[in-house]
Amino acid sequence: MSKDLTLKISNITERPITPDMVGLFFEDINFAADGGLYAELIENRSFEAVKSKGEAHNYVLKEDNLYAWTATSKNEDALEISFNQPISEKNPHYLRFTAKNDNEGFSNKAYDGISIKKGMKYKLSFYAREVNYPEGNLSASIVKNGKTYAQTTIPFKNATNRPKEWMDTIRVTCDTMDWNLYTAELTALDDISGATFQINLSKPGTVEFDFISLIPEDAIAGVFRKDLFQALADLHPAFIRFPGGCIVEGTSIMRRYQWKNTVGPLKDRKINTNLWAAQGGNTMTAWETPDSHYMQSYGLGFYEYFLLCEKLSSPKRACKPLPVVNIGVACQFRSYEVVPLESEDFNQYVQDALDLIEFANGPVTSKWGKLRAEMGHPESFNMDMIGIGNEQWESEVVDLAPRYKAFEKAIHEKYPEIKCIGTAGPFINHPFHTSAWDFYHKEATANKDFAYAVDEHYYVAPQWLYDNAALYDNYPRDVSVFAGEYAAHDENLSNSMDGGIAEAAMMSGMERNGDVVKLASYAPLFNRIGHSQWTPDMIWFDADKVVLTPSYYVQKMFSDYSGTEALALNNQEKDLRSQQLYISAVKNQDKKIVKIINGSWEDKTLILQNEQQEPLITEAEIALLTAANGQAKKVVATDAVNQNSGNKPISPDVMSNLELCQKRAPEETSFTVKTEQLTGKITIPAKSFIVIKY
């Protein structure tokens, strides 16, 4: 046990700070959208799947339209893919199914299998068109091991006016042979996981199908998986940065994220491959990964991202949208592709950003405001920030500075109220990071609105975060900071208590400097267990459960116990840092909030004094985050990472993704909030985080 230490809590406020620092960064990695927050249960619902294979600068894409679908009979010709007269030319492929006998059908594996809860209703919809099915109906069911857990019969619109003679030289149009939208409900008869979804024809015949969807009735706004949404809502985020991340850039210009492809009717949103389907994360290195079919259906598109922000807003704080736009550059880790600055194509990128602002905020009389209204939201989404680029850096290939200038100039000429956020590249303390900041500081001398904040990223060892808890103490105040992606990466790339506590130590420095650090978001947000391209992550989940990590609770504590003014510490924080205690003290209305992070492997006792150096004796609300067993464990090295080569990805030949997730699983935590009497001192357990509010 170390000697007792002292903290005198001042009444003097040192500087105003933002109470809205803590937000979310959403990227569709680790099945965060399809198979995750997006509540859709059917995989490859539009038959547009592509298999992605390859490595940096070397990719192969191959259509695999029947991925996730199989026939329930042994008829090899039962399933065919066609693209003649599709329901949508944006997604032209669809299924032609032929049943040779009664009650033959086809099934969907639905990610890791469908999970349903007894009594819950599930909304089914699909398009179907008769080819040759003069009689009979359809049935939809959820089955496992021969047992049916939900089922419904769907009357089919069979042809009634088919001509007696079919003449190949003319086209006869029958209304009943056009695409029809079918809807139904399935009610779960019991709990089941790992089931499949199935559609059967009651009679022999041929029918075409497209856009088959199954959504739980409790999905928030019919879009968001309820338990994952609630985990986000409990954080009371101040903003969401979306849609990425490297996703914004794509493996190529053609495969970049284009927001205009993600709005409008679902069937018309052009499906895209997912950059994370091929190797490039920190979990798998293989020419073809197990999740090579990972796609972006865009059921979670830009409209839904804006809606998510609105739904996550609460009386505590508004959740603001912070979309990131492509600046004419493919992912610099994966491609050398750029759109020439002096080209009409580049001008279209700038125009897309302007159109995005109109979509979010414009009147219903405008082109894009009208589309927003048609989608169900005539009111403005009140967007006031935009990210210009993800994590580009100045290089022989990419001319970052003039690209940012072009976007900033066009945006502020038309929308001077929009806050533009620049990028400082993917690494901190790197020459291109310094060069980027020099650029923004220089431009800010002539134009204070040139950049509201600069987005900097750091995925680093826990010790780096401890060592740099005072990083922002001496940052210039002319341009604000957005810590847009950061996380502690321990030697196992797991969500350890040590990693979470190191993040808290860093965030104490962010909060103390909340006049310059205006925005901060941990990354990545989600990880579907068994489908990881990257670890660690804030929230782990599977079809049935949600696992909240130490990093999650750290974010929650800083969000729940935010302040509007920083209290003067008079250099006490420096002395306490030498003892591995990291301090932030803030004021929120008439309450004082003190955050104490113990980064050491031993308990610490801290004497608490008021302004008069008297023992602090008062009733207080105390939130405490510790390891679940009350004593943080040192992370045990595993073969998930080669200890001599840093964060080295492993081959799927070494272990499966599920085994990898087990190796890197989050350390269990204990998070408690209670009211108790302070008696002038407090003990902070090893590797723990305490908040005192009084």
* Residue 391 is a catalytic residue: yes
Beta partners for 129? 208
- Our measurement of the distance from residue 342's CA atom to the centroid of its chain's CA atoms, rounded to an integer in Å, reads 33
Query: Quick one: how many helices (H) and strands (E) in the chain?
Result: 11, 36
Tell me the C-alpha distance between 299 and 560, whole Å.
Answer: 31
- Among residues 275, 269, 271, the alpha carbon closest in space to that of 252 is found at 275
Neighbours of 429 (CB within 10 A): 12
- Tell me how many degrees the CA angle 417-419-420 measures, rounded to the nearest 5: 130
For residues 694 and 678, is the Cβ–Cβ distance under 8 A?
yes
In this structure, which amino acid lies at residue 169?
T
Strand, helix or coil for residue 489:
coil
Tell me the C-alpha distance between 413 and 402, whole Å.
Answer: 16
Tell me the C-alpha distance between 140 and 36, whole Å.
Answer: 23
Q: Using DSSP bridges, classify how beta strands 272-273 and 681-684 pair: parallel, antiparallel or unpaired.
A: unpaired
For residues 33 and 300, is the Cβ–Cβ distance under 8 A?
yes
Torsion sign (Cα): 34, 38, 40, 45: negative
For residues 454 and 437, is the Cβ–Cβ distance under 8 A?
yes
For residues 326 and 249, is the Cβ–Cβ distance under 8 A?
yes
- Residue the block writes with tokens 């492509």: 326
Q: What's phi and psi for 252, nearest 5 deg?
A: -150, 165
Tell me the C-alpha distance between 354 and 501, whole Å.
Answer: 41
- Tell me how many degrees the CA angle 543-210-133 measures, rounded to the nearest 5: 120
DSSP 667: P
Beta-sheet strand order (sheet of 320-325): 24-25, 239-242, 320-325, 385-388, 419-423, 453-460, 480-488, 517-522
Contacts of 679 (CB under 8 A, 6+ apart): 615, 617
Catalytic residue among 391, 565, 573, 667: 391
- Among residues 546, 435, 428, the alpha carbon closest in space to that of 487 is found at 428
Q: Using DSSP bridges, classify how beta strands 617-627 and 688-693 pair: parallel, antiparallel or unpaired.
A: antiparallel
What does 198-244 look like in DSSP terms, one character per residue?
A: EEEESSSEEEEEEEEEEEETTSBTTTB-HHHHHHHHTT--SEEEES-
For residues 497 and 633, is the Cβ–Cβ distance under 8 A?
yes
Catalytic residues, by residue number, are 391
